[in-house]
Structure 1
Amino acid sequence: MRTKGNHMLVYILTLGVFGILNTEMGVIGILPIIADNYHVNISTAGLIVSLFALAVAVSGPILPLMFSGMNRKKVMLLVLGIFIVGSLVSAITSNFSVLLIARVVPAFFHPVYCSLAFTVAAASVSKEEASKAVSKVFVGVSAGMVLGVPISSLIATASSIAYAMLFFAAITTVAFVATLLYVPSMPVAGRLSYGTQLSVLRRSVTWLSIAAVIFMNGAVFGVYSYLAEYLKTVTNYAWHTISLMLFLYGVANIVGNMIAGKLLANHALRAVMSYPFVMGVVYILLFIVGQFSVPMFFIILFWGILGGIGGNIAQYWIVSAAPEALEFANGLFLTSANLGTTIGASVCGLFISGISAQYVMLGGILFLLLSIAAIYPRSLIYDRMEASNNAR
């Protein structure tokens, strides 16, 4: 049964995830300023984003497993503390190498907090309400991605990079204090051994789930990574309109997270199975009417909602394959999602450089087809597993 305490816990977890994602994504809007300030080229400045993502992908299956036996409140405080220190060091350093280290070290602990947030949110409510609780935490993910970029850009432009970094530290500090004061101690009872948790990797259903998430994320973020370029060269939007469209997509993403909780609670399998086909229709429409400004407004709005739903679907698809090892499964989800983003952006970039920006949609459709090839066999195997377990 849900209680007021459960609600507060989920909100604090959402704030913590927002703080961490805000720290990760917020610097995207100030990369040119960072390049000028630290006297490096823009590609070198971009390392603070790409190496952050790489650290998350590498540590995703490892560190959540290592911390799985510790008191969850202490682990959350530790990770939030590391992020606060990283942001403070970033604010005061004048050396780019130090800035890079201050960014990458906390990134290794990113999956620890986020996997715990998903796990604790789901455990704080009934099984039927778990998807809704997790979808609220995903709002923190979307808000961090949507609000972090314009706010940090505004702060850095109006004052300095240091104040933008202090903004990241301030948000994480609020989450730290809220966790310290209002989150109860959460010792782990009946901790699973490392061997038991790792045993989920022996199942084909786990690997098919990982593949599906890589391809689904590749389909969404491979295209989204070049949305600004698409709107500029195909739709011929002005830059201020492009900024508005990116913000619209992000807000729609948050709406999608809210819808996803109810969708997965009531129609989980149907939602997963139909998702690639609905997204495929959106990409076909984007390809056909991409040069028309008014239809693009509504398509981007719907696409943003689907993007928010997709993140929840991806997390559910992996966790449902390994429900007895939730933190490890959430770590696998974070790694898979980051790999999908990286691979998707690389492949879709090839379509742009090889043909034109309009054909980036073909890259998205390719990944959707690959996700179908992983989703449907996984569903069949999982159904057989469930039937076998019920027959015992």
Structure 2
Amino acid sequence: MPLVIYILGLTIFSLTTSEFMVAGMMPSLTIAFDVSVTQVGYLISVYALGMVVGGPLLTAGLLRLRMPNKTALLLLLGLYAVAQSVAAATDSYAAMTVARFFTGVTASACFGAALSICADTVAEDMRGRAASIVLGGLMLAAALGVPVATLIDQHMGWRASFWLVAILTVMCALVIGGLVPRSPSSTAISLGAELREFRSRNLWAAYATSALIVGATFAAFSYFTPILTEVSGFSAAMIPWLLGSYGVANIVGNAVVGRYADKHTFPVMVWGLSLLTAALVVFALLAHIPIVSVAMALAVGLVGVTMNPAMVARVMRAAQPGPMVNTVHNSVINIGLGMGAWLGGLGIDAGYGLRSPLWVGVLLAVLGLLSLAPYMHKRRRFHPRQV
């Protein structure tokens, strides 16, 4: 496997760490900006909003300019590093919010450019394996990036974590600039043909389920730090290790779901959402018991966003999986992420306490189960294409 594939995976790791690490440094950010926990949670939502806007629009713009994938990715990483540096240096919550939005916009387009370079770099029969390495940065960010960023926050301050991501992004760009050969301009695609895929009701139903799964998970995960410290009674020093354990659960769950998602797409999603609902209910009821709260947090890690392989398989069944279909799916997933974090914060602001995000997660998970009900009789064996 070419070295650049691993560098692309490290790039995705950097971008995703920046997206999620706010969840581990909420106490520091609330003090630094003199805002509530809910307002810090919105910094996750606004990043996700940037990804939703940036994916379809910025990618389409780069395709229209026929910019080579390498040039596009280097430009995007440069813009990302600038926005991340602004976030690291600012003392203004408003400026931080704007910077988070623009890092989300550029990160979304980086995903598409990185996967295109991945496909161009390796032989066709190795593209699936190479793509899995590149996207492995997503899970590694939860398992390693967020805990390390939290540790750095606790010992060196939150700015150090933000600066580290900016520096790592620049380093990845320099290596990509040296390793990736010059490529021809992007091939024009038929937007009309791709847009016709969006006439499918099944596709939109698949998108809705994906958004609800991710929303249910992040309604809870976005507020794990205050729940585990203020309700469960863990010290701040324990949070990086607990978040790291959650990330390991993500990796394990993703591996298991990936093995069965193709042949058993709907059963995997039904069982996953059922277990997610049960874990969130127990967590909400017994969050004051430390051992139970840890067990349920790990359970959420095992069956939450790890359903991604099944979500992708369902989308590939519902429509021809062209670039725009997959880009919009990524946007929908981030809508779910932002929606979950936002709704969880509303519960806290309304005075229902720190457990309320867990109950919001329960509601979204139940809605996810209901969205699958009309399709359960259509379970057929399906083999999604690797891209």
Matched, 1:87 2:107: no
Q: Is the 8 A contact 2:14 2:141 kept in 1?
A: yes
Q: What percentage of residue pairs aligned between the two structures are identical?
A: 24
Deviation at 1:58, TM superposition (A): 2.4
Return the alpha-carbon distance in structure 1 between the equivalents of residues 74 and 113 of structure 2.
Answer: 12
CA 1:286–1:317 in structure 2 vs 1: closer, same or farther (change >3 Å)? same
Partner of 2:16: 21
Partner letter of residue 68 of structure 2?
A: N
Deviations 1:279-321 (A, max 9, x none): 2333344356544433443443333122352234334443553
Partner of 2:283: 286
Q: Is the 8 A contact 2:46 2:338 kept in 1?
A: no
Return the alpha-carbon distance in structure 2 between the equivalents of residues 204 and 93 of structure 1.
Answer: 44
Deviation at 1:379, TM superposition (A): 6.6
Q: Is the 8 A contact 1:209 1:378 kept in 2?
A: no
Please, what is the CA RMSD of the aligned residues? 3.9
Partner of 1:334: 330
Aligned length: 378
Matched, 1:52 2:47: yes
CA 1:133–1:319 in structure 2 vs 1: closer, same or farther (change >3 Å)? farther
CA 1:125–1:325 in structure 2 vs 1: closer, same or farther (change >3 Å)? same
Matched, 1:246 2:229: no
Matched, 1:105 2:109: no
Q: For 1:165-184, what aligned pairs fall within 5 Å after superposition? A: 165-184=162-181
Q: For 1:145-184, what aligned pairs fall within 5 Å after superposition? A: 145-155=142-152, 158-159=155-156, 163-184=160-181
Q: TM-score, normalized by length of structure 1?
A: 0.78
Q: For 1:208-223, what aligned pairs fall within 5 Å after superposition? A: 208-223=205-220
CA 1:291–1:46 in structure 2 vs 1: closer, same or farther (change >3 Å)? closer
Matched, 1:206 2:203: yes
Matched, 1:257 2:221: no
Matched, 1:115 2:112: yes
Partner letter of residue 60 of structure 2?
A: L
Deviation at 1:215, TM superposition (A): 0.8
Q: For 1:112-151, what aligned pairs fall within 5 Å after superposition? A: 112-118=109-115, 130=128, 133-151=130-148
Partner of 1:277: 274
Q: Is the 8 A contact 1:213 1:340 kept in 2?
A: yes
Return the alpha-carbon distance in structure 2 between the equivalents of residues 375 and 122 of structure 1.
Answer: 33
The counterpart of 2:194, out of the listed 197, 202, 205, is: 197
Tell me, what secondary structure is at the counterpart of 1:191? coil
Return the alpha-carbon distance in structure 2 between the equivalents of residues 32 and 256 of structure 1.
Answer: 29
Partner letter of residue 332 of structure 1?
A: V
CA 1:74–1:104 in structure 2 vs 1: closer, same or farther (change >3 Å)? same
Q: Is the 8 A contact 2:262 2:382 kept in 1?
A: no
Partner of 1:372: 369
Q: Is the 8 A contact 2:219 2:342 kept in 1?
A: yes
CA 1:137–1:76 in structure 2 vs 1: closer, same or farther (change >3 Å)? same
Partner letter of residue 77 of structure 1?
A: L
**Deviation larger for 201-210 or 309-318:** 309-318
Deviation at 1:347, TM superposition (A): 3.7
Q: Is the 8 A contact 1:135 1:257 kept in 2?
A: no
Deviation at 1:254, TM superposition (A): 2.9
Deviations 1:154-193 (A, max 9, x none): 4455556654433112211222123223334454675322
Deviation at 1:35, TM superposition (A): 6.4
CA 1:307–1:138 in structure 2 vs 1: closer, same or farther (change >3 Å)? farther
Deviations 1:311-337 (A, max 9, x none): 3433444355344423x2232122212
Q: Is the 8 A contact 1:287 1:361 kept in 2?
A: yes
CA 1:17–1:322 in structure 2 vs 1: closer, same or farther (change >3 Å)? farther
Return the alpha-carbon distance in structure 1 between the equivalents of residues 321 and 344 of structure 2.
Answer: 36
Q: Is the 8 A contact 1:260 1:308 kept in 2?
A: no
Return the alpha-carbon distance in structure 1 between the equivalents of residues 78 and 47 of structure 2.
Answer: 17
Unaligned runs of 5+ in 1: 387-392
**Deviation larger for 213-222 or 238-247:** 238-247
Partner letter of residue 260 of structure 2?
A: L
Partner letter of residue 210 of structure 2?
A: V
Partner of 1:71: 68
Partner letter of residue 274 of structure 2?
A: F
